[in-house]
Structure 1
Amino acid sequence: MSNNPFVSIILPVYNGDAYIKESITSILNQSYGHFELIIMNDASTDTSFDIIKSIQDKRIRLINNDENMGLIKTLNKGLSLSNGKYIARMDQDDIALNKRIEEQVNFMEKNPKIGISGTYIDRFSNNKRIRIAKVPTKPEIIKCLLLFKNCLAHPSVIIRKDVLEKNQISYNILHTAAEDYGLWQNASFYTVVANLPKVLLKYRENPTGMTSIADSDKNKNRRKTIYKIIYKQGLTHFGFEPSDKELELHYLCASDDDIDIATLSDISKYLVKLKLQNKTHPIYNPFYFNSLLNRIWFKVCMKCRGSKIMNVKIYFKSELSKRGNPLLFRSF
């Protein structure tokens, strides 16, 4: 590459001594070498600090928080300390493939309108592959999806720093446990978001990691509250001010929770309302947005309690089933 833009890689660490050396090594061994690795040690109480200090490389910038700040404040501190044209994310227990940064920088340089992009990931545990997670890649599809769900793998992402600065975008403390989703959704109203269709990261499924902790039963209600905050953020960008009931319906559209027939009717009206909103406030490509609403409508009909045959009939009676191509969102 004739032009080698500088990349800041942010790696937050908290009690990550089990895998941190492997994670750091995977970055230092990248085929693309023009970067700084900003390691944010969030007052770890294990041997993480000693392990990091033992690795000698001039590209490492070790930042020690005097006290535990939590992930979001630590990430935002890392953003503010970044010197690169691009900011890449990395987690303490994941492994970046050798050409990850090179491939991502090439992709961003060739697509200057894209402000944020992620990649496919290889999910693994105990050195055994679980599955390849193939996230959506088409920007129009991603933008629509972000109104309802996350579709980027956080530790695979690379971001143009100027997009964050110009639009005053950072991680929101109100989005704790879903801070990445909140940022992507917010940014999608200012820039193009995409995914590179290549596996460039090995994502460790860690039973004691942040994802597993966040998904524990005792935190489900808290996460529901956080998602509603993010949904409201997106709907407000969309020019739509949802009621509390509509936020609950929006959540049910995106969740796997069962619904009854009365709620199904309410969801139908809500989705039609969103469809009409996109006519008067055209934020989303109408074909893809209607395709997504069609897919969501099919999904909620299929999870409605009662006769599946009757639910299929209800699906086809609605105008929502007659627009777009729901197969474009079959992974929803």
Structure 2
Amino acid sequence: MEECQKQTWLPVFIFSKDRPCQLLCSLASLLRHLKAEALEIFILYKTSPGFRDSYSVVETLLDRGLYNSLATKVAFRWMEETETNPLGQLLDQALASARDRAAQTVLLTVDDALWFQDFDATSAMKLLEKDERIYSVHTKLCPRIEYVHTSNKFMRVPPFSRQNHRLPLDAEYVETSELLVFDRAKGEYDWNYPWELSASFYRLDSIEEVLRMVRSEFGSCAADHPNHLEGYGARLLKQQKLATANSASLCACSDRPVVAVVTINRVQSLFANPVYHTVGSELSPEELDKVLRYALMQSAPKADSMSSGQSAAAALVEHLERSLEWVLSYLERPLERKANETEELQTWEAFDVASWPPWILASAAESYATTYMDSVHVPLPTKKSFGRSDVEAPIVSWLMPVKDTPSAWLDLAFRSIEQQVGMAPGSWELIVVDDGSSEAETLTTLAVWDSNPSIRVLRSKGVGIAAALNEGWRQCRGRYVSRLDGDDYAHPTRLEKQISFLDRHPSISIVGGGFCTFEETSCLQQYRFPCHPVLARWHMIFSCSLAHPTVTFRRSSFGQGPYPEGKEAEDHWCWLSLPLDVHFANLADVACYIRRHPSSRSSKAAAALQRSSFDAVSAFLQRHGFADGLREEDVKVLWGKANAVSAEQADRVSKALDWLEKFFVSMIQSGGATDGVVYSPDFEEDFLGLRKTALEDYVSSSCGKLRGVLAVQSLASGDVDVGAAMMKNWLKGGDAGLKSLGALIQSGYSPNG
């Protein structure tokens, strides 16, 4: 480790128990994607007798120096847990070694963490070094994560702020991971679980404090099991008994997916909501390990057999691929031939080759990188999750309304269309609707555009945004229609991600995305909306949960134009007017950069837009059967923009919440059999399935929290009569209402937050 001492190096502690082959794959993915100058990897493992030989095979493979040619310098430290040297002591030894080498930061991870996108470890280390407010950096989290499998819950995702964000305006765009900072108290479950072992960076001081306090509070052996160490540490943090956590209320994560937790041997069956559901017979972990160990030994690469110029990482991946080829060919052999292969491998009566987990392949990582996942814990890749099924380039029509937009802004918007990743020439068109521009520079730019064969400029005479958009829609020829305003610009990977999502999910007709606001070249704030289609529709009642400039439509789902004309908030009216079997969703990834300027429509007409949205919500309730009706001032209370001013108004708002809760829960339970609508089998499979209970719980708990917020607001304003009426309606929920009080106080819950 002499060379490592002279560099900025990172200690990595990886926990493993009876999963040697999975450990190898986890390490291979980590070494491929974790970018650092030098790594010292402490493998803290515990093995049953049946797995000992396999750990020896893995150790031999890694110690052959396969990674000597990597830019990252790597050293391995194997530390076996025994009765006389338990895990807690191993951690003490590893921490002492890191402390002796003046390490500041440690990465804690596990053998079922699969890394599938590059992550700059140095940026995480520097962030923890310079900002004492940040407790940890979690590579398993990103804005997409909104569902927690182990609890079967949808989570509240906190707001994010970016660190050192660079606006992607370069001609050659390279997507690199950037760090987002968030207040953990504003999140739930995974987002408010800052002490965890699966793939997170911590200061050395913080880890030492957790070990010390866990032993002090729960006994000297309490740190001798990874699950206990994590659980006890999380409890102490919640109880505010960890000084390093008390003084650091923030955490950080990647802005894109980096790590998935893939438990090959069904460890997740320990939870009430397992990630895996066994179909038929399958290999036991012991039997699976025998096959993989044999395959690894059969195809092990020799140090002198690497082709000239071949990287060490590529050599190991090639080795693993040969191993899998052998395993698959072995499993496909007739049973009588298998028994003659080796005495080690004789139990293959009912193994389903089609269910073979391809996690050992590098292509498995690619499948996770191209699949939109909303949970940390993920199932093994399936055929459906591998790449897009079509081979032809998608045809996209960009739809852009323009009125007196400065030419520099238009040029930037057009450049972002031209630079879309994966879009070949001729695979897109731009439909511009000029709704009565009079500025010379705008007219000059549009005249130049009109000569471009990929652009069609339509002229209208101030007919309004909805009518102009519908006019442009009728000229769109693309399979998809993507909206973009002339003063904004699209993220380079927007179409690649949105169209891939629509291709995989035929039941979704509209997909939106996250966005960043900006002024000139400075980024202001990043925003995301609920992504699951049921949650996106639910939140549409309390705010507009699709950002119009980010959306891409499936054109076949609509006729001559989707926008209601004569409505100020044409987009909100559009989303709320859709039939219940026309679904919309969001991707948490940034799809668009939205310019903030005083002459924008959202700035100049903010009050009128909000009133129009209130009317759209009232119309939705009335259209779907809420007979009592809501006035504009009632919706304003529902949105948290005002307090109820009378007991009668409090009663109307409470009845609306009751109706909304029953309406959405019934829609979830019945598979959409509401108002004569039934969800498609594709929608059932992709978005409901085992998540119905989590969706129902989210809707009901949101109503409980909102009733509590409105009651507390009314009491705080001094209106005791109204507050009492709101409190009475809130506490109708019994224990659920009382439980929601603690939740909303802890989280600072707001109706549209």
TM over 0.5: yes
Q: Secondary structure at the match of 2:529?
A: coil
Give, in whole Å, the separation in 2 of the partners of 1:28 and 1:249.
45
Match of 1:58 among 440, 450, 453: 453
Query: Which among 22, 43, 53 is matched to residue 412 of structure 2?
Result: 22
Q: Once structures 1 and 2 are overlaid, which stretch shifts more, 149-158 or 123-132? A: 123-132
Q: Please, which of 377, 386, 398 is the counterpart of residue 9 of structure 1?
A: 398
1:245-292, Cα deviation, whole Å (9 max, x unpaired): 5x6423320141233462434433432244345567765864333233
Which of 636, 644, 661 is matched with 1:275 structurally? 661
TM-score by length of structure 1 reads: 0.85
* Structure 2 match to 1:192: 583
Distance 1:273 1:69 in 2: 37
Whether the 8 Å CA contact 1:144–1:292 is kept in 2: the answer is no
**Aligned to 1:139, which of 533, 536, 542?**
533
Equivalents in 1 of 2:735, 2:594: separation in Å?
36
> Which range is displaced more, 145-154 or 69-78?
145-154
Q: Deviation at 1:48?
A: 0.9
Match of 2:699 in 1: 289
Which whole-Å deviations, capped at 9, do the CAs of 1:75-101 have from their partners, x for residues lacking one? 010111111111110001101122222
Cα distance in 2 for residues equivalent to 1:117 and 1:38: 19
**Superposed CA offset, 1:17-69 (max 9, x none):** 2511111121122221311100111221012121133346421111122x222
The residue aligned with 1:100 is 494
CA distance in 2, matches of 1:279, 1:141: 12
Q: In the alignment, is the contact (CA less than 8 A) between 2:626 and 2:659 conserved in 1? A: no
For 1:247-286, list aligned pairs within 5 A. Answer: 248-260=633-645, 262=647, 263-277=649-663, 286=696
SS of 2:625 mapped into structure 1: coil
Q: Which amino acid aligns with 1:314?
A: M
Task: Say yes or no: does 1:171 pair with 2:171.
Answer: no
**Corresponding letter in the other structure for 1:130:** L
Which of 733, 747, 752 in structure 2 is aligned with 1:319? Answer: 733
CA distance in 1, matches of 2:566, 2:435: 19
Instruction: State the partner residue of 1:203.
Output: 594
Q: For 2:712, which of 302, 306, 313 is the aligned residue?
A: 302
Unaligned runs of 5+ in 2: 1-387, 675-694
Greater CA drift, 231-240 or 147-156: 231-240
For the Cα contact (< 8 Å) 1:258–1:305, is it kept in 2?
Answer: no
2:433/2:459 contact within 8 Å kept: yes
Q: Distance in 2 between matches of 1:197 and 1:306?
A: 35
Kept after mapping to 2: 8 A contact 1:142/1:151? yes
User: Quick one: distance in 1 between partners of 2:644 and 2:513?
Assistant: 34
1:157-211 CA-to-partner distances (Å, cap 9, x unmatched) read: 000111112xx762112421x1111111222623121101211211111211111
- Cα offset, 1:242, TM superposition: 3.8
Give the direction of change, closer, same or farther, for the CA distance of 1:119–1:53 in structure 2 (3 Å limit).
Answer: same
User: Is residue 602–residue 609 contact of structure 2 (8 Å, CA) maintained in 1?
Assistant: no
User: Does residue 603 of structure 2 align to residue 212 of structure 1?
Assistant: yes
Q: Which amino acid aligns with 2:477?
A: N
Residues 75 and 171, structure 1, Cα contact 8 Å, conserved in 2: yes
* Counterpart in the other structure of 1:84: 478
Query: Deviation at 1:126?
Result: 3.3
Aligned residue pairs: how many?
322
Question: Kindly tell me: are residues 289 and 200 of structure 1, through their superposed partners in 2, closer, same or farther at Cα, counting changes over 3 Å?
Answer: same
**Contact conserved, 2:480 with 2:552, CA < 8 A, in 1?**
yes
How far apart are the structure 1 equivalents of 2:662 and 2:493? 44
CA distance, structure 1, for counterparts of residue 628 and residue 735 of structure 2: 23
Q: Per the alignment, do residues 276 and 38 of structure 1 end up closer, same or farther by CA in structure 2, a change over 3 Å counting? A: closer
Residue 43 (1) aligns with residue 433 (2): no
Whether the 8 Å contact between 2:485 and 2:549 is mirrored in structure 1 is: yes
When residues 230 and 153 of structure 1 are mapped into structure 2, their CA distance, relative to the original with a 3 A threshold, is same
Amino acid at match of 1:322: A
Offset of residue 111 of structure 1: 1.3
Residue ranges of structure 1 left out of the alignment (5+ in a row): none
Q: CA RMSD in A?
A: 3.1
What amino acid does structure 1 have at the position aligned with 2:406? D
Q: How far apart, in 2, do the equivalents of 1:45 and 1:320 lie?
A: 61
Three-state SS of the structure 1 residue aligned to 2:538 is: helix
Partners of 2:735 and 2:548 in 1: CA distance? 33
Q: Which deviates more from structure 2 when the two are superposed, residues 69-78 or residues 145-154?
A: 145-154
- Residues 469 and 561 of structure 2 are in contact (CA less than 8 Å); yes or no, is this contact kept in structure 1? no
Could you say which structure has the greater relative contact order, defined with CA pairs below 8 angstroms and 6 or more residues apart? 1
Secondary structure (helix, strand or coil) at the match of 1:173 reads coil
